[in-house]
Amino acid sequence: MRILGNVVVFVLIMAVSAGIALLLLDPLAHIGVFGSCFEGGCGYAAVFLGFPVMTLVFTGVGCAIWFALSRRR
């Protein structure tokens, strides 16, 4: 049962991380973080480069926080 709970929490962390990444991608693309927006090129960079990287980073941060909180008990 504990393993199932850990899997559910991990999937929830990944879903929240993906949501945060989606919310941040559009403003970051428009300010030029992913390069020039000539003919929508920054949108492709945001989706295929920024989204996976940001999702993995936010998932790592979320798991680190979860791990730290679970060790305090």
pLDDT category of residue 5 using cuts at 50, 70 and 90: very high
- Mean pLDDT, the chain, rounded, equals 89
Domain ranges of the chain: 14-71
Rounded CA-CA distance 5/49 in Å is: 31
Of the listed ranges 14-18, 42-46, 61-65, the least confidently predicted one is 42-46
Taking residues 27-45, report their average pLDDT.
79
Rounded CA-CA distance 53/50 in Å is: 5
The pLDDT, as a whole number, for residue 15 is: 97
Q: To the nearest whole percent, how much of the chain has pLDDT over 70?
A: 97
